Structure 1
Amino acid sequence: MKLNTMDKITSSNLNELGYDPVTAEVVQMRLVNIVGEMATTLMRTSGSPILTEAQDFCTAIFDDNNEHIAFSGYVITHIGSSVEGVKSITNYYDLDSIKPGDHFIVNDPHTAGALHQGDVAIISPLFHNNEFIGWSFSNAHIADIGGMSPGGWAPVARDLYSEALRFVPTRIVNEGKYNYELFNLIRSNVRLPEPVVNDIKSLIAANNVSQRRVSELIDQIGIDEYRKYCEINKVLSEKMMREKISKIPNGSFQTEDWVEYDGHGDSKLVRVGCTLTVNDSSLHFDFSDTDQQLDAFINAGSGVMIGIVNGLMMIGLAYDIPINAGILRPIEIDLGQPGTVVNPTVPAPVSCGHMEGGLAAGRALWEGMVQALQRSEDQTIRERTAALSHYSWPGNSWVGLDKAGNYTAFAVLDCGSGGLGGQSIGDGLDISCHEVMLGNSIPDVEINEGLYPMLYLWRSLNYGSGGHGFNRGGQGIDIAWVPYGTEELSGTLENAMAEIPTRGVLGGYPGATNLYKVHRNAKSQSFIKEKNRMPSLQEIGNEEIMPNHATNIKLTENDVFRQLTGGGGGYGDPLFREIHKVAKDVTDGFITADTAKTVYGVLFESSNVVDVQGTEALRGKILSNRIGKKVSFSDKNHTEFGLILADNVLKCACCQESISTSHEDWREKALVDQFPLSSRLKSLNIEIQDRKEADLFLEESYCPNCGVLLETAIKKNA
C-alpha cells in the first residue's frame, strides 16, 4: 500500500517521528550521487561539446508526488523546467498507461515547461518491482532542433511556429523499444541529425542509470523507508529555508527591469515589473505588472519563471541547504494574467525567453531581494546581499562548410563567460557564467578550433568591464576569431544586455554590457602568414557594431568576429575601496589611473606609488561635493553600505544617522543626482552601447549626512 507521506510528515510533527538523522543524510546523499552519476553518463556518452565541455544540462529525480528529491546544479534554472516537465507528463497521460521502460521527450515551453525549444528533456517513470515510485529527468541543450535558425533560438521569428521543432509530451521509448518513426522525424528536421539523435539517446541512458541506482537503494532500505526519508528530507529543507526567510523583516518592495529588443527593426523596451512581499517565513513574487507579450522570442514561459525565481533563491538563501522540493515550498510566484512577457500564450515565440524576459525578471526580483536582505538584523543574512553578474548569455551560432567541405552548424560557447558581481566578502569572479548557470564551463580554444571552421586571434579578459565598487565586479571576456578553412559563415546573434547593464548594489556601479563587433576586411590570416604572429586589436582595422538580435550575419574569411561580455555589478561605494586594492587594479589593468582618480579618489605620486594624504583629501572633497557640505574622509573606514533597519528607522550603514522611517520612501530624504545612463557610465570608463532614445538614466542617491553613495538605480523616463 502506498504511504501518503505528504499527509503524514510536516515540520510540526517531524520531531515526533523518532527518525534517524544519519539515515536521512545517507539517503539524501545517495540521491545526490545518483543525479551526479546521471550527469557523468551524459558527459561520457554524448559527443557534443555542449554537454562534454560546456555542461549545459541538468539531471533530477522526483518522487511519486511529482516533487524533487534530488537535483544537479549545472543549469539551475532547470529546477523550473523539470517541475513543469514532469507535471506535463501527468497532464497528457493516464498514469496507468505508463509502464517500466517508457521514456518521454519534451521541449515545448508552452505545454511542458521547457526553457526554450533547444533544451530537450527526457522524462522517465521510475519503478521498483513494477510499483511506480517517481520520475527521472535529464535535460540538455541540443546542438540544433530545426527551425529558421541554428542553435535553438530564432531572433526574428514572429510566432512559435517559425522557431523550431516542438515536442509536447511524447513517448519516444515504449517499454524499452525505441520509437524509430519519431527518431526519423527528428533526423529529417534538424541540421545535425546524428549528433542530435545521439544526444537524445544520452539523455535516455542517464535516466536508465537512475532507474538502476534508485532500485538498489530501495532494495537496501525498503520502499516504506525510502518514501518516508524522501519526505523527511524535503521537510528538513523546507524548515531550514523558512528559518532563513523569517530573519528578513516583513515588507513589500517594488522593482522593474526591461527587455531590450531590436530584432524587428526598432529598439523596444519591454517592462517586467516585480513586487516582492516578505511575509513571516515565505516570499511572494508578483510579476503581474508586466508588459504584454511581444511577437518576438523574448517571452518567458512558466518553467523559466519558476527556474529563475527559485534558482536565485537557491544562490541567495539556500546555498547550504540540500536541494529538493522543500526549498521551493516557501516561495510563491504570481505570473499575473495570461498574455504577458512572463506568462505568454500560444502563438507567442519563446525560443529565447529564458535569456530575455526571464533574466530581466531575475534582475528585477534581485533588486527587491537586495532591499529586503539589507534590512535584516542577522549579519549572515545581510551578507547574502551581492551584486548580480553580467546576468545574460549572449549567444551566437553559425552555419557553413567545415574544413572538409561538409555542412556544419555550431554555437560559440565562450559567450556565457562574463564577470560575477561584487559581494560582501570580496570582488566578483572574472570570466564566470551567470548565477543560474554556475555549473557551466567553456570549451578549450583547441576544442573549438579542432571541431569547427574557426581560428582564435585571442581570448582574454575584457579589461575594465567590472562594475566599480568597494568590492569590484568581475571582468568579462574578450574573444576574437576568424572563419578558417571556409570562405563564409552565416550567423545568428542574440544579446539581451547591450543597452541596460546589470545594476550595482549598495552604492556600487553597473558593469559593462555585452557587445558584438565585426572588423571587415581585416585580412588577419594574411597577416599571420606574413608576420608569424596573431594581430593585435589595433592591427585588424575598423570595427562595425553588430545588431543584438539578428540572423543571416555574413562573416567571410577576411573578417574578424569579436565579442565582449559584460562585467558584474559593483558592491558598495567605490570611494571607500582600500587604497592598496585600487593600486593593484591599476597595475593589473582592470582600471586606469584616471579611473582610480575620478571614481575611487586615489592619487598616485608616480606610476606605482600612491599619494596617501592626497588621496584622503581628494576623497573628502568628492564626498563634500556630493552633498554640498564639508565632510572629512579620514574617519570613514567602512565595510558596510546601504541602509540598516533599527527600531523601525532606516539608517545609513556608514554613519548610522537616520534617513527615514521604515514606512517612508527613504529616497525622498536622500540627496539625488540623475545622469543619462550611457554617458554617465562612459564617463566612468564602463563600455555600454548607446540607445537611440535617451530614455534611461542613472540615479545616484547619497546619504545627506556623510555623503556615501547609498544606491545607483537605473530609471526610465515616463
Structure 2
Amino acid sequence: MVKSSVKIDPITVEIIQNSMRAITEEMFATMRKTAMSSIIYEVLDFGVAMFDAQGQLASSGSGIPGFIGMLEPGVKSVLEKFDKPDAIREGDVFMTNIPHHGGVSHLNDVVLILPVYHEGTLIGWLANKAHWVDVGGSFPGSISADALDIYQEGLQLPCIKVIEQFTPNQAVIDIFMANSRQPEVSKGDFWAGIASMRAGEKRFKSLVEKYSLQAVAYAIEDYIELGERVARAALKALPKGTFEASEVTDNGLSIKAKITITDEEFLVDLRGNPPTQPNGLNATYDSTMVDAQMLFKAIASPQTFANAGSFRPIRLLVDDDSMFAAKYPAATSVYYENSMMSFDLVWKALALAMPDALTAGHYGSICGTFLGGPHPKTGHSHSIVEPQIGGWGASSKFDGINALYTGFHGETFNVPVEISEQRNGLQIDRLALNDEEGGEGETNGGKGIKLDYRVLTDNWWLTMAYVRSENGPWGLKGGNRGSTNYVNVVRTSGETQRYSVCTALPLNEGDVVQVVTANGGGFGNPANRPKEKVLDDIKNGYVTYERAQEVYGIN
C-alpha cells in the first residue's frame, strides 16, 4: 500500500490505528487459547504482528519483544524470495525457521507469515512466531549448547509455502511432524498459529471494507511516521556522548559494547567481539539488532506503541561472522543467552548516565530449562520448556524487584506449580526466593529463586545453558555484584552435581533438578544502607544477622 495524497480526517485515522492494535491483540488471544504446549499458552513464548504491504512493522502485538522485532525481516525475506509475478497469492501461508535467513532466532522458533489481500490487491501481512517444543535434531527438545552447526539442531524449513491458495501442503506437514518427537503437539501449535493469523486476516479485511483501502493505507503510513517522530523526539532527550562497557563471559571471552548517542542517531557498536563460536552460543545480525531495539525502546519511549518507525534512529555496527552476527550454518540453539549478553552490555554502558531509567545488572540469563521423558501417567514422550524468573538490579532509589523475568521477555509468565505437576508430570518440591549472598548495596538487588523439580519416572533428561554462572550481575556506584545462575542435580543416592551447561543429561525417578537464579546487583555503598532497612531485611529473611554485620556494619 502507498500512502494516499488525499488527507483523511484525523478521527478516522485514530480509529483505524487503534483498530490495528486490536487486531494484533486478537491474534495474540487466539494463539494463547488454541495452542497445545504450555510454553505457548502459559509462558506466552510467542509473538504476533501486523505489517504493511512492503513488510514494514505496522502494529506489534503482545508477546516476546524479541520475537516481534524479528518478524519484519522475516516478512521481507518472503518478499525477496518470492519476487516474481504471482509467486505470492491470496490464501498462501509461508513457513520458516532458519535463523540466518531472516525473522528467526533458532530452529525451535517457527515463523508463519500470511499475506492479506483485498479485491486482488496485497494490502499487508500478518505473522506469528512461537517456540515449538521439538523440531528434531540430535537431542530431545532440539536444543544443544554443544551443537557444532545447524544440521545438528533440527529440521530446517527454508521459507516455504505450507499452505498454497488455501490448500495445505500435506507433504510439508507430514515432514515437520515426522521430524518432531512430539508430532501431535507440533501439529496443534501449527494450526494454532494459522488460527491466530486467520483471525487477524478477517479483522484486517473488515477494516478495509469499512473505511476503504485508501484510508487504511494512509493510517498505516501515518502511524509509522508517528512512530519515528516519537522516537526522534525521545532521542533528543537522551544524554549525548559515547558510553562503553565490557564483561568477561563465564568461559573467559572478553565482550564489549560502545554506544554513541547524538541528536540524530543511536549507534550501537559491537565490533571487535569474538568470532562465531564452535557451539550454539551464537546470534544472527537480526537477533542482535532486536536486542538494541529493545534497549532503545526501554529508555527512549517505553510507554508508547512500537512499529517500524520507532527504530529508525538505531544503527548497529558488528563484525561480519562474529558471535553477534553468525552466518549460516552456525549453530544458534542457545542464541538467547548470547542475546542476553549483548542486551546487558548496552544496558551496562548506559546505566551510569541514566540512573533514573536503568538499574544495576539483573540476573541476565533466560535460564531456559528443558526437561522431558515419558509422562508418568501416559508413558508418552513429553517435554517442557521453562525460562526462569530471577532478581533485578537495584536502582538509585529503590531495591531491585524479586523474581521477575528479564528485560528481554516482555509479557511472559512462569509456569504455575499446578500446571507443572498436573500437565507436565513433575513434582515441585520448592519455589522460594534465593537466600544466597550477593547484591548488597545502599539499595539491594532483587532476589532470584530456588525452584526444585522432582522427576517422577525413569528415562528423563535435562538440557540447560545459563550465563552468569561464574560472574554475578554487576553492581553500580559501589554496590556488590549479585549471585549466580546454576542448576544442582541431586541424585537419589544423595550425590549432587552443579551445572551451568548440560545437554540431555539423564535423569531418573527421584532425581531432583534444583534451579537457582541470581540475585541482582546492588546500587551504592552497602555501608550507607539505612539501619532500619537492614533490620527489615533481617526480619524478612533476606539477610542473616551475621551477613548484615559483615556487609552493612550493623551492630
TM-score bracket for the superposition, by shorter chain length = over 0.9
CA distance in 1 between partners of 2:240 and 2:198 (Å): 45
1:87 match: 76
2:171 match: 181
1:515 match: 486
Match of 2:415 among 414, 434, 443: 443
Match of 1:59 among 33, 45, 48: 48
Distance of aligned partners of 1:51 and 1:552 in 2 relative to their CA distance in 1, 3 Å threshold: closer
Q: Deviations over 1:238-275 (max 9, x none)?
A: 22222222123431122223443xxxxxxx32333211
Q: Deviations over 1:484-508 (max 9, x none)?
A: 1x12312222212201222223433
Tell me the amino acid that sits aligned with residue 282 of structure 1: E
Distance of aligned partners of 1:259 and 1:408 in 2 relative to their CA distance in 1, 3 Å threshold: farther
For the residue of structure 1 that corresponds to 2:252, the secondary structure is strand
Contact preservation (8 Å) 1:158, 1:348? yes
1:593 deviation in Å?
A: 1.9
CA distance in 1 between partners of 2:249 and 2:218 (Å): 44
Match of 1:218 among 208, 224, 230: 208
For the residue of structure 1 that corresponds to 2:408, the secondary structure is helix
CA distance in 1 between partners of 2:160 and 2:100 (Å): 14
For the residue of structure 1 that corresponds to 2:237, the secondary structure is coil
TM-score where L is the length of structure 1: 0.74
1:350 deviation in Å?
A: 0.9
Contact preservation (8 Å) 1:60, 1:137? yes
CA distance in 1 between partners of 2:552 and 2:310 (Å): 40
1:50 deviation in Å?
A: 0.9
1:343 match: 325
Runs of 4+ in structure 1 deviating by more than 6 angstroms, as ranges, are none
1:399 match: 372
Tell me the amino acid that sits aligned with residue 401 of structure 2: L
For the residue of structure 2 that corresponds to 1:126, the secondary structure is strand
CA distance in 1 between partners of 2:93 and 2:473 (Å): 40
For the residue of structure 2 that corresponds to 1:516, the secondary structure is strand
1:288 match: 271
Contact preservation (8 Å) 1:396, 1:412? yes
1:519 deviation in Å?
A: 1.8
Contact preservation (8 Å) 1:109, 1:302? no
Distance of aligned partners of 1:432 and 1:175 in 2 relative to their CA distance in 1, 3 Å threshold: same
1:312 deviation in Å?
A: 1.8
Tell me which moved more, 301-310 or 504-513: 504-513
Matches within 5 A, 1:340-489: 340-355=322-337, 357-373=338-354, 383-404=356-377, 406-413=379-386, 415-464=387-436, 467-484=439-456, 486-489=457-460
For the residue of structure 1 that corresponds to 2:273, the secondary structure is coil
Aligned-residue CA RMSD (Å): 2.1
Identical residues among aligned pairs (%):
26
Match of 1:495 among 435, 446, 466: 466
Q: Which structure has the larger Rg over C-alpha atoms?
A: 1
Contact preservation (8 Å) 2:48, 2:128? yes
CA distance in 1 between partners of 2:358 and 2:11 (Å): 33
Matches within 5 A, 1:66-215: 66-94=55-83, 96=85, 97-215=87-205
Tell me the amino acid that sits aligned with residue 520 of structure 1: R
Contact preservation (8 Å) 2:137, 2:153? yes
Contact preservation (8 Å) 1:464, 1:589? no
CA distance in 2 between partners of 1:554 and 1:259 (Å): 27
Matches within 5 A, 1:308-327: 308-327=291-310
1:512 deviation in Å?
A: 1.4
Contact preservation (8 Å) 1:509, 1:570? yes
Contact preservation (8 Å) 1:251, 1:372? no
CA distance in 1 between partners of 2:315 and 2:353 (Å): 16
1:595 match: 547
Q: Deviations over 1:573-624 (max 9, x none)?
A: 3333333222211111112223323323333xxxxxxxxxxxxxxxxxxxxx
For the residue of structure 1 that corresponds to 2:552, the secondary structure is coil
1:299 deviation in Å?
A: 0.7
Aligned residues: 554
For the residue of structure 2 that corresponds to 1:398, the secondary structure is strand
Higher relative contact order (CA 8 A, sep 6+): 2
TM-score where L is the length of structure 2: 0.95
Contact preservation (8 Å) 1:112, 1:169? no
2:496 match: 543
CA distance in 1 between partners of 2:306 and 2:3 (Å): 21
For the residue of structure 1 that corresponds to 2:332, the secondary structure is coil
CA distance in 1 between partners of 2:537 and 2:406 (Å): 23
Contact preservation (8 Å) 2:24, 2:62? no
1:578 lines up with 2:530 in the alignment: yes
Q: Deviations over 1:296-342 (max 9, x none)?
A: 00010122112211112222222112111121101111122x22101
Q: Deviations over 1:431-471 (max 9, x none)?
A: 11100203111122121111233212111111246622333
1:286 deviation in Å?
A: 1.2
Matches within 5 A, 1:648-663: none
- Runs of 5+ consecutive residues of structure 2 not aligned to the other structure: none
- Runs of 5+ consecutive residues of structure 1 not aligned to the other structure: 9-16, 261-267, 374-381, 523-540, 604-718
1:256 lines up with 2:246 in the alignment: yes
For the residue of structure 1 that corresponds to 2:65, the secondary structure is coil
1:246 match: 236
2:311 match: 328
Tell me which moved more, 131-140 or 459-468: 459-468
